[in-house]
Amino acid sequence: MSNFFPRWSNLLPLKLLVCLAVIGCAIVGGIWYYFTPKYTRVGYQPDQPIPFSHAIHVKQLGMDCRYCHSFVEVSGHSNIPNTQTCINCHGQGKVKWDSPRLAPVQESWKTGRPIQWIRIHRLPDYAYFNHAVHVNRGVSCYSCHGAINEMAVVYEAKPLSMSWCLECHRAPENFLRPPSEVFNMDWHPKSFDEQLKVGTKLKQEWNVNPPVTCGGCHR
Amino acid sequence: MLRYFFIGFTLLLLLLVSMTGLRGWKSKRPPLELFPDMVRQAKYKAQTESSFYADGRAAQAHATGTVPMGYSAPQAKFADSNSSSTDLAGPYKNIQFSGSPTYRETGRMGTQWGTGIPFEVTPSIMQRGQERYNISCAVCHAATGQGNGIASKYGLNGIANQHQQRIRDMADGEIFNTITWGKNTMMGYGSNIQVPDRWAIICYLRALQRSQNATLSDVPDAEQKKLNR
């Protein structure tokens, strides 16, 4: 009876336990790491019908965001410019009209059908975000879109998850900037202390009190 | 035995990570929505697609003779005075585009181009004008108005210098019309710049024009001292 189980089986339960623990940790770690918009959303960079470069138009030419996104200060939705806005500069006989890369602009201008841009930043349909209230109260484009002025091809830079929104809604002083610098993508506070000083001042001046209740964003 | 498990496990992990990538890696694949409950609803948001209408747009152009919600209704009679100054109380509260035949929205008084700003000009209007000019106009006409903006360096020709006598003499109403509908190679900016902002831009343009032909006596005393120093 003494050798019913071989010797190696003595440690088997312990070894199995170790294996299961490691697998369990890997699953939990994997879910923590991957099942979040920090992984699923950030870095989404689809091919657009036109390889429009914000780096050229904003960084190199110094155009203002609002030349194209002209209603971002008055509308909840930041408008994708109409084709005519492209044609202002890229019209017949103007800048790069004949470029094959701009063929969809030409086609849209001739047919009247909009250019089929691919939407990158998409909130869930039950979240209501208003661009105007944010940019008019010192939340820069940079805060949510990252360094879009340096992107040759736009990608999603921030997770746009609820916890990420709440980071700012709970402590706006960490992000607010002077209204004159909202559309200046190159403005960065020199230190966190300076940010806190500017942010706290603006928060008090404007009585910024972002909603952290459900009804603030979900209606 | 445990050693084989760990080797296998590490290989499996590497395989999975090589397939999924890390956070922040660029990807052309649309984001996965892990819990898609009501994330995409059967409703239209701004500038979205629709398979219902033939032209594929959810937002249809308004039917002729109707006024979209939130827009000011066209007024029946021609106004030739500064009568519309009251609607400026909240100039940016609602988007003000309309087909109204007033001077404020056409630049015409009767059949002529009118002149004058149809509301009181304050320093804040001037600042607004400067801001809007630098956003929408300076790209071609340059911040100084001399017509050598950044677009002219990339092959956009025929940009008007704002300091030529023809434009200095031009009626405000005609400039308003040019901003709204464009002229020659310039496209209209009526769909990008709101009515009060167009007038604010004209205010600022007039100041720009004056600045290019100013003498020292035009500068306020306080500022003169700074210059003399």
ipTM for the whole complex: 0.88
Could you tell me the residue ranges of all domains in chain A?
11-39, 53-80+121-217, 81-116
Kindly state whether B3 is in contact with chain A, defined as any CB-CB distance less than 8 angstroms: no
| Contact call for A95 and B150, based on CB within 8 A | no
Contacts with A80 from chain B: Cβ below 8 Å: 47
Q: Which of residues 151-170 of A touch B (CB under 8 A)?
A: 155-156
Kindly state whether B9 is in contact with chain A, defined as any CB-CB distance less than 8 angstroms: yes
Predicted local distance difference test score (pLDDT) of residue B75: 47
Kindly state whether A70 is in contact with chain B, defined as any CB-CB distance less than 8 angstroms: yes
Of the partner residues A18, A45, A63, the one whose CB lies closest to the CB of residue B26: A45
Contacts with B5 from chain A: Cβ below 8 Å: 19
Predicted local distance difference test score (pLDDT) of residue B95: 43
pLDDT digits (tens, 9 = 90+) for A3-47: 788 888 888 899 999 999 999 999 999 999 999 999 999 999 999
Of the partner residues A18, A73, A82, the one whose CB lies closest to the CB of residue B2: A18
Of the partner residues A15, A73, A82, the one whose CB lies closest to the CB of residue B191: A82
Contacts with A93 from chain B: Cβ below 8 Å: 185
pTM exceeds cut of 0.90: no
pLDDT digits (tens, 9 = 90+) for A141-183: 999 999 999 999 999 999 999 999 999 999 999 999 999 999 9
Q: Which of residues 171-190 of B touch A (CB under 8 A)?
A: 185-189
Confidence at B89, pLDDT banded by 50, 70, 90 = very low
| Contact call for B155 and A94, based on CB within 8 A | yes
Dump the DSSP string for chain A.
-TTSS-GGGGGHHHHHHHHHHHHHHHHHHHHHHHSSHHHHTTTB-PPPSS---HIIIIIIT---HHHHSTTTTT-SS-PPPPHHHHHHHHSTTSTTTT-GGGHHHHHHHHH-PPP-PPP-----TT----HHHHHTTT--HHHHH-SGGG-SS----S---HHHHHHHHH-GGGT---GGGTT-TT---SSHHHHHHHHHHHHHHHT-----SHHHH--
Q: Is the pLDDT of residue A50 over 80?
A: yes
Q: Please report the domains of chain B, with CATH numbers, ordered by start residue.
A: 105-211 (1.10.760.10)
